[in-house]
Amino acid sequence: MNMELKFKVAGRISKPVAEVFEAVVNPQTLSRYFTTGGAKGRMETGVTVYWSFHDFPGRFPVDVVEVVENERIVFDWDSDDPGTPYKTRVTMSFETLEDGRTLVSVQEQGWRPEPDGLNASYCNCSGWMQMLCALKAWTEHGINLREGMFQ
């Protein structure tokens, strides 16, 4: 059986799309609720930015493939799959809902269809859902859910 390992998580945030989008592309804001070790560089098409996390030592290069303001962010980054390095692709989508809230979806794909790839995809799936929860808490209430969680 040959299957593609991918997932999609989503959440609704009670803020306008422009504010939610800016909270992701702006490294100073992203560092306040998600990248516990900091973020360097604004997410723009064709650039590489760097994210750091207390729970995963080191800087992670994030190769930004496409940014469409207030709509989509696409980037490639290293899989957390041991062995030969390869990249996965993340697509973040932002949609204005009728009631003014923002629907944020995160899809990641590209793991190798083997046990290590499956485990890495599960880890990232839970991480992206946590990111959406942290984004919601930060943008709606100014609360950093990740503070002290991993250190």
Residue spans per domain, the chain: 5-141
Q: Are 4 and 56 in contact (CB under 8 A)?
A: no
Q: Are 96 and 79 in contact (CB under 8 A)?
A: no
Phi then psi for 132, rounded to 5 degrees? Answer: -65, -40
Residue 146 confidence (pLDDT):
83
Q: Are 63 and 77 in contact (CB under 8 A)?
A: yes
Residue 150 confidence (pLDDT):
66
Amino acid type, 98? E
pTM above 0.75, yes or no: yes
Candidates 3.30.1330.60, 1.10.287.130, 4.10.410.60, 3.30.530.20; correct CATH number of 5-141? 3.30.530.20
Residue 110 confidence (pLDDT):
95
Residue 89 confidence (pLDDT):
98
Render each residue's pLDDT in the chain as its tens digit; 151 residues: 567 889 999 999 999 999 999 999 999 999 999 998 899 999 999 999 999 988 777 899 999 999 999 999 999 999 987 878 899 999 999 999 999 999 999 999 999 998 888 999 999 999 999 999 999 999 999 999 988 776 6
Report the first-to-last Cα separation within the chain, whole angstroms. Answer: 40
Residue 81 confidence (pLDDT):
78
Distance CA 73, CA 90 (A): 8
Residue 84 confidence (pLDDT):
82
Residue 78 confidence (pLDDT):
93
Per-position b or e across 79-89, b if 16+ CB within 10 A of its CB: bbbeeeeeebe
Contacts of 120 (CB under 8 A, 6+ apart): 79, 80, 81, 111
Residue 131 confidence (pLDDT):
96
